[in-house]
Structure formats: structure tokens, C-alpha cells
Chains A and B, each alone.
Chain A
Amino acid sequence: MESKNNWKAWLYLAPVIVLMAVFTLYPIVNTVVVSFLKDYNQINGSSKGFTFYNYQQILSPGGLFYEDVWLTALPNTLILTLITVPTSIILALFIAIGLNSIPFLKKIFQTVFFMPYVTNAIAIGMVFSVIFDTQTGIFNAIFGTYGFPWIFPVPGGATVAYGSALFSICFYIVWHSLPYKILIFLGGLQNVDQQYYDAAKIDAASRAKTIMKITVPLLSPQILYVMITSFIGAFKEYNSVIGLFGTNGGAFDKNTGPSSMKTMVFFIYDQIAKGKVQYASAAAVILFVIIMLFTAIQFKVSKKRVHY
């Protein structure tokens, strides 16, 4: 039985394994290999052998990319992640709970909140850069901060403070990542047994308390799931940067933070574009390790908090 099952199982997995092997694992292996090749020549695939040079250039102070990675890409990536993930999760939670508690207009709201998910990212990015435009953006019009640079500097005048650029991009990222989270949370909420709420009612628990002490803990599996996936997503943030700040990742006052919004993946692409695949690969591997670590930590931390 056991052994019979064994080969059967592999049979069931065969399609996935084959496809993954060709289109996922092989490229990954390839990436790792290239990341260890010295002076990898893209024209004829030749290289000057195995080396840690690429990693040195990225990791060691004084390496070619020390500034790009340690002073720009990594900080940006981390800051973006640490801001957008919690914010979006909390917002999504509130919205989901709200949606779950209202008597009417549910459907309409649901639809509205899901719209960004079904919308072509191409257009949205452009629309947002218009919204945040320093001179002409609606954002300035609404908040009456005319001439205060959000993402583009005021010519010859004020420079873009890192903070405001950060705000703009976080706004965009959160906006874009909300719908899916809301969806998951709503799903979770609909699984919560009404009796828990009745019980809480009888125990004279206030609304807020019910949410904090019962709803949220009961959602913890969903929260953990969303947290991990969106952490991974945030670490891979790239399109939003291009969408808002253009292909040079913006240029902000370096006294207020990194001078551009370039992220790790941005750096990776940049290197590929310049044909420096070996650096790109090395960076990709490093990013992968970082993500791994974060995910592991989250699992550890959540062990206690999450009930299954």
C-alpha cells in the first residue's frame, strides 16, 4: 500500500515536477551558477572561472556596488517592506471587518474594493504618477501643498524629500495590494462561527474588544499567510518604483535618505540591462537568502500566536 501509493504519488506530481524542473528549477540553478562566474561574458558565455568576486563587489564595503546596494537598494527595500506590509494588512483588516459588519451596500463596496485587482497595472501606474505630480497632481491640488515636491522636484527650487517620495510610493503600493488582502480576510471572516460573537455579546465584551480579542485571533492563519506572501511581494517591489519615479528611480535629497527609490530588484534589472548578468545573479541570490530568513523568522514568531 505504502509503496504502491509512493509511485502513484509521483505520477500525480509528474506534470508539476516536469514543468517546474524546466521553467523554474533550471533557471534558478543557472542563476546561482552564473552568480559565481568571474567576468561572465554575455556574448559568448565564457567566463574566467569560479569566483566570489561578484558577491564581494556587492557585499564588501568599497566594492563597486557597496553604495548602490547597502546605502540605497537594501534600505529602500526594507523600509518599503516594513511600512507597506503592516499598513496594508491593518487597513485590509479594518475594511474586511467593516465590510463584514455592514447591513447594506455590501456588494457594491466589495466590488469597488476589488477593482484594482482586476485592473491592468500598466494604466494604473501612469495614472498615479499623474496624481502625485508635483506641479499638476491632484494630490497637491487636494492637500494644497502647491510647489511642495512629492515625486518630482520643483525646478531650481525645493528638492524632493525622501519622506514625501516614500509616502507617495507607499500610498501606491498599499492601494494596489489592498484588494487581495481584503479578499482573503473576508474569506476568513465568513468562516468565523457566529456563536463566538454571541458568546462575546453575552460576556459584555465591547465592540473593540470583540475585534481585538476574538476576531483578529481567529483570523490569525489568514493574517500569517497574507503577511508572508506580502513580505515576499514587498521584497520584490519594482514596478511601483518604475511606475511612479520613472526608469531612473527618482532623485531625492540625499540628506533625507537614499537619493533614489531603487530597490533590490531594481538593482538586479539595472545590472542585467548593462549586461552584467553575474552581478544581477549574485544580487538575486542574496535577495533570495534575505527573503528566506525573513520568512523563517515569521514562522518562528507566529508559532505561538497563530492557532490552526
Chain B
Amino acid sequence: MKNTRMLTLTSGALLASVAAICLSSCGGATYSDQVLVSDDPTSLTKIVFFECLGHANEGNLGKIVSAFNEKYAGKYEVELSKVAGTYDALHDAVNTKLTAGEVPALCMGYPDSFSVYMGKEIDDSNIYRLDNFIDDPTFGFTAEEKKDFVPEYLAEGQNYQFEGTWSLPMYKSTEIMYYNECYFAGSNQQNLAKFAANTEFAALNKAVTDKGANPTDESLKALKDWVKSHSGYAYELPTTWEDMIALAKQMVADMKTENLENIEFYPVGYDSDANLLISQFAQRGIPFTVNDEASKADPTKHFVFDNDEAKAFVNTLVQNVKDKLLITKGVLGGSKYTNTYFTNLKSAMSIGSTGGSSYNVSSNFKVGLAPVPYAAGKKAQYIMQGPSICFFNNSNDYVHKGSWLFYKMLAETTNNTKLSLENSYDPIKNSCYETTEYKNFVAKHDSELKYDIPFHTQDLRDNYMTSPVFVGSSTARVEIGNVLQYICNSNFSTDEAFAKAMNSCRAAA
């Protein structure tokens, strides 16, 4: 872990001489709006694709690659370059390669990284603007195909410091709330089991179950009241952030009444401070970062989160943390995940990436899924995550074409569906959600957590959001994510914390 970190940092500096090397090695192709060549290469062209999939999830990508290599045998051959570790590690690896003038063809990753490859001068960009490829009459996407893409996913690729589409989605995920069903009404398995013998309960329960899938309120309410009065838990599942906090208060209070207050318990755990703040800011219309004319002139103007609304909201969060209603990865010291608390029965709700479902499974209880509570009275917005793919500025035109063809195959409906589901992510095209693979997969929900994920995420898709991307956007994410721990752990005043964050951002701009 420390070593990857070391690598991260060092190889960052490799970029120092990237340009020099590139110029010498890539024949000075700097113009980033390329067009696809019509013909195919006579000799085999290698297409190096940098990826960092865990060993468990490589299966389908491998299949796609071999299928591709078969189809274009003798012309193109995709070669997977696996980089062990996180997306950070991947980012560094790519930097390293660029420095050495060894330009890959494709690479998966996050826009934040891509914007770094892009740089501040459009003519020095190491990656391509893809519009010409997308619109290419022969090889590009047809109008339907374009429409078929989930618009938010395509939109993400246009959210960079420069105009145009610079990256295409690979597969996507978002955040979701995992909750411990024991605490919540409706599916209160373990409590039910406990009361099963009780006739009074059996009657009420029957009343509910007879009503079928969605019982009417009064019968359910009766059941709940009964359960509550018998010191079981039967809380309402919160839909808004405010509800969630209120519920948390309730839970803590109940613990007290049952003299359990000395048990370590934090109702809500949020695994990413950055996502928490960025999404809540967005929902509440609190400015965070921008890509506009002003910021073009002065990069420090990208960062606009140093404002009173932001501080006010952060203050409420700090209060929640102090009241032990909420813990985040940040306030845990930054290197411990809240889902450990969740799986150890020390939290009732845990908000994290849909990709990380496996961390939230526990043998102790059944896990339920629900959308991340949103700001009351505002439009729900969910952070969009998951890797995209960018194309590198390569001297060989055939490489570009090969890369493009490969992406098309990867984005092809069934391929993409399989690929995404294997990683419990969402596929990138609407048509994917109609495929039998997808339907079968979703049909298996309730049998295992990873099958539930897509079942729950499919209706969140319309409310996805992303934050602007530019050189320094990653720092912005990190710093806003630090604010909570600055205040809660280091006793900074809110102003100090924000100042500190802003300062770092400015330095990184």
C-alpha cells in the first residue's frame, strides 16, 4: 500500500519530461482532432489496452478481446496490460509509460486522470478528442446508436476543460444505501422469527401477508406498532437526508431507553466524504467547482466551494458526527472503511459504491438496498462513478482505428451487459437493459446482494450527476473530502478547514 503510494508520487514527476520524450518518439503529432483512416493495416497492429480489473472480474473482458482478435486476425490485436491495484496505480502506470514515450492505445480510468493526460494546452494533449470518430460516416456510431447510450454517460465525456467528447463510458456505477434489514419494518426477518411463536403477532403478520406484495398501511402499521412495543426495531426507511438524520437521532434515543447507549453504534456510515459533499452540494445548489471562462484565464477560479452555504451544511454534518449519528471514512482517520462498522452491526445504514457490494455482505444479517437519501424538497442527484475509456495520441493511425473498433465491440450491447454485470456495474446503453442476460440477472435479486444492485440502480439512472473535470479537479475532490476530518479530528474551525482546502487546491492549480 505504501509502495503503490510511493509509485504514485514518483511517477507523477515522470511527466516532467513527457513532452520532450513524446516529441522525440511520436513524431510530433500534437493535433488532437484526428479522423479514422478508411483502410486497414497490411501488417498486424498491436493495440495496448491498460486496465486494472481484479482477477475475479477479468473473464468477460478477456472474452471480448479474444473475440476481437479473432475477428480482425492479421489486422489488429488487442493486448491487455494489467496494472495491479487501484485506479490511482493505473493512472501512475500510464503516466510512466507516457514519460517513456511508450504510448498506449487505450486506457480505462476516471476523467480526473484523463484531464491530466490532456493537460492545459489543447495542442499538447496526449489523448484524442473523439467526436470525429463518433461521427465518422463509415465506422462511427449511427444516430440510433448514439441515442441508445445512456445520455448522462455520454455527457460525462464532454465535461472536460476543453470542448468536445474526450472519453467514452466503459461501464458505470453509483452510490447506494446498504441497510441492515433487522432494523427496518416490512422485512424484519430476525425479529419476525423471534416473535413467530406469539399468536397475537402471528395474527397481525397474517393480516399483512394476506394483503400480498404491498400491504396497506394500517395493517402494516399495526404490525409495526406491535413489534415496536415488544422492543423490536421497526424503523421507517428514510428517503431524504433530513429523514435519515432524524431516524438516526431516533435510533440513538431508542438505544438509550434500552440502556444500550454504551454499545458503540453509529446509525449512518458514509464511505466517501467527497461524494457525500459533492452530491449534497449539487442537490442543494451549493457551488463546488466550475469550468468557465474565468477559470480558463485563472485556474484558481475553478474552485468555488469556499462559500457560506457550503460551510453551513458542513457544520450540520459536523454536528451529526459529534452526536454520533454519522461516521464517514474521513472521520475514521481516512484509511478505515465504514462498511466494517456496518458488517459488524455497529451501523444500521452504510452508503457506498454499488461496485463495492461485496464489502457490505455480512453473515450476521440480511442486507437491504435503497437509494441514497437526497436533500429534502430538492431533486435527487446521485454521483456517477465507474470507469471510462480514453484514446491516446498515437503516431500510428491504424492504432486509432483499431482502438475505435475495439471500443465499439466493447460497447456492443450484449458484450457490455455481460462485462458490466460481472462487476456489478451498470451497462452503458439502454438496449443493454432489455437484453435477456440483464433480465435474467436482475431476476435473481434477493438471492444474492450483487444481483440486487442493478435491480435497484436501474431507476436511479435519470438522476446521475458528475462534477466538472480539469487539471486539479482530483485535488478538489480530495480536499473537500478532507474538510470533515479537518474539523472533526483536527479541531479546525470551519473557516480554517475551508481555507486549508482552498489553499491546497490553489497550489495544485
A279 contact set on B, CB distance < 8 A: 507
Min CB gap B93→A, angstroms: 14
Question: A43, A245, A275: which contacts B12 (Cβ < 8 A)?
Answer: A275
Known contacts A41-B120, A153-B332; A254 and B324 CB within 8 A of each other: no
Question: A42, A46, A129, A155: which contacts B13 (Cβ < 8 A)?
Answer: A42
Using an 8 Å CB-CB cutoff, how does the interface string of A28-45 with B read, 1 for contact, 0 for none? 000000100000111111
**Quick check: which of B140-148, B226-234, B367-375, B485-493 contacts chain A, the rest being far away?**
B485-493
Known contacts A125-B1, A242-B5, A273-B12; A253 and B491 CB within 8 A of each other: yes
A153 CA to B336 CA, complexed, in Å: 11
- B120 and A64 contacting across the interface, CB-CB below 8 Å: no
A254 CA to B488 CA, complexed, in Å: 11
Cβ of A151 under 8 Å from chain B: yes
Question: B5, B126, B327, B489: which contacts A159 (Cβ < 8 A)?
Answer: B489
- A239 and B321 contacting across the interface, CB-CB below 8 Å: no
- B264 and A276 contacting across the interface, CB-CB below 8 Å: no
Give the secondary structure class of A's interface: loop
Min CB gap B467→A, angstroms: 18
Cβ of B361 under 8 Å from chain A: no
Cβ of B6 under 8 Å from chain A: yes
Min CB gap A283→B, angstroms: 12
* Chain A minimum-CB-distance residue to B499: A67
Cβ of A277 under 8 Å from chain B: yes
A156 CA to B487 CA, complexed, in Å: 11
Using an 8 Å CB-CB cutoff, how does the interface string of B318-335 with A read, 1 for contact, 0 for none? 000111111100111111
A268 CA to B8 CA, complexed, in Å: 12
A238 CA to B5 CA, complexed, in Å: 11
- A248 and B334 contacting across the interface, CB-CB below 8 Å: yes
Min CB gap A272→B, angstroms: 4
- A152 and B336 contacting across the interface, CB-CB below 8 Å: yes
Min CB gap B295→A, angstroms: 17
Min CB gap B436→A, angstroms: 43
* Chain B minimum-CB-distance residue to A241: B2
A274 contact set on B, CB distance < 8 A: 12, 475, 507-508
Give residues of chain B (1-25) contacting chain A, Cβ–Cβ below 8 Å.
1-3, 5-6, 8-10, 12-13, 15-20
Cβ of A251 under 8 Å from chain B: yes
A122 CA to B500 CA, complexed, in Å: 32
Min CB gap A264→B, angstroms: 13
* Chain A minimum-CB-distance residue to B92: A273
Number of A residues near B (Cβ < 8 Å) is 55
Using an 8 Å CB-CB cutoff, how does the interface string of A8-42 with B read, 1 for contact, 0 for none? 00000000000000000000000000100000111
Using an 8 Å CB-CB cutoff, how does the interface string of A152-169 with B read, 1 for contact, 0 for none? 110111011000000000
Known contacts A126-B1, A159-B488; A152 and B19 CB within 8 A of each other: no
Number of B residues near A (Cβ < 8 Å) is 53
Question: A152, A159, A270: which contacts B9 (Cβ < 8 A)?
Answer: A270
Cβ of B124 under 8 Å from chain A: yes
- B492 and A259 contacting across the interface, CB-CB below 8 Å: yes
A197 CA to B3 CA, complexed, in Å: 47
Known contacts A153-B488, A155-B321; A242 and B19 CB within 8 A of each other: no
Cβ of B161 under 8 Å from chain A: no
- A152 and B20 contacting across the interface, CB-CB below 8 Å: no
Cβ of A269 under 8 Å from chain B: yes
B336 contact set on A, CB distance < 8 A: 133, 152
A238 CA to B333 CA, complexed, in Å: 18
- B486 and A156 contacting across the interface, CB-CB below 8 Å: no
Question: B19, B332, B507: which contacts A45 (Cβ < 8 A)?
Answer: B19
Using an 8 Å CB-CB cutoff, how does the interface string of A125-160 with B read, 1 for contact, 0 for none? 110010001110000000000000001110111011
Point out which of A44, A155, A272 has the most chain B C-beta atoms below 10 A from its C-beta.
Answer: A155
- A272 and B10 contacting across the interface, CB-CB below 8 Å: yes
* Chain B minimum-CB-distance residue to A147: B264
Question: B13, B20, B489: which contacts A252 (Cβ < 8 A)?
Answer: B489
- B490 and A122 contacting across the interface, CB-CB below 8 Å: no
A157 contact set on B, CB distance < 8 A: 324
Top-3 shortest CB links A-B: A246-B335, A44-B19, A269-B9
What are 28 of the A-B contact pairs (CB < 8 Å)? Answer: A41-B119, A42-B16, A43-B119, A44-B18, A44-B121, A44-B124, A45-B16, A45-B19, A45-B20, A57-B507, A64-B506, A121-B2, A125-B1, A126-B1, A134-B333, A152-B335, A157-B324, A160-B333, A238-B6, A245-B335, A247-B334, A247-B335, A251-B333, A251-B482, A270-B9, A273-B9, A275-B471, A276-B508
Given contacts A243-B2, A251-B486, A275-B116, 9 further A-B contacts (CB under 8 A): A42-B12, A43-B124, A44-B119, A153-B488, A155-B321, A251-B333, A253-B491, A254-B492, A280-B13
